[in-house]
Amino acid sequence: MADRKSLARNRRAFHEYHVEEKLEVGIVLQGTEVKSMRRGKFSFADAYGRVKNGELWLIGLHIAEYTHGNLFNHDPTRSRKLLCHAEEIDRLRRRVEEKGFTLVPLEFYLKQGLIKLELGVCRGKKLYDKRESLKAKDQKREMDRAMRQGL
């Protein structure tokens, strides 16, 4: 974990979904996209993964245009190819075809100078599950606070 520098984490995904499995994948980017992402100028609130023709794609990721990119700037909302092994893509395709599973981007980070994506195989939470998660989080916060005051 020491060789990872987080660019952004999708906190909303952990509230909206049960994360069943996590997978590290590469992402195919153009030069101006890398520069914008390193500056934190991207949003993946509505992004999701999809398997098309045996390839893994990230749809809905918005990377702002690079300010000094002029003529060679990228399309901010284009679909971007994700890189992983063919067996993993096939396994993910089978999981997504099951009822209720979705591929959700959880975190973008730098690893050895490359931008990587942590992709989650997730199942949507029901409203009562979300309430339970919030209740557990509040209880944990209260316990931590009490422990700090007691010490």
pLDDT at 132: 82
Mean pLDDT value across residues 16-33: 85
pLDDT digit string, tens, across residues 102-112:
888 988 898 88
Mean pLDDT, range 122-139, rounded to an integer: 81
Q: How far is CA 52 from the centre of its chain?
A: 19
Q: Is 33 exposed, middle or buried (0-12, 13-18, 19+ CB in 10 A)?
A: buried
pTM over 0.85: no
Q: Are strands 17-27 and 55-59 parallel, antiparallel or unpaired?
A: unpaired
Per residue in 38-89, pLDDT (tens digit) is: 888 888 888 888 888 888 898 888 888 877 767 677 777 788 888 889 898 8
pLDDT for position 151: 64
Q: Which residues are 6's β-sheet partners?
A: 109
Query: How far is the C-alpha of 67 from the C-alpha of 35, rounded, in Å?
Result: 10
| Greater model confidence, 85 or 98 | 85
Say whether pLDDT at 1 is over 60: no
- List the domains of the chain with CATH numbers: 4-126 (2.40.280.10)
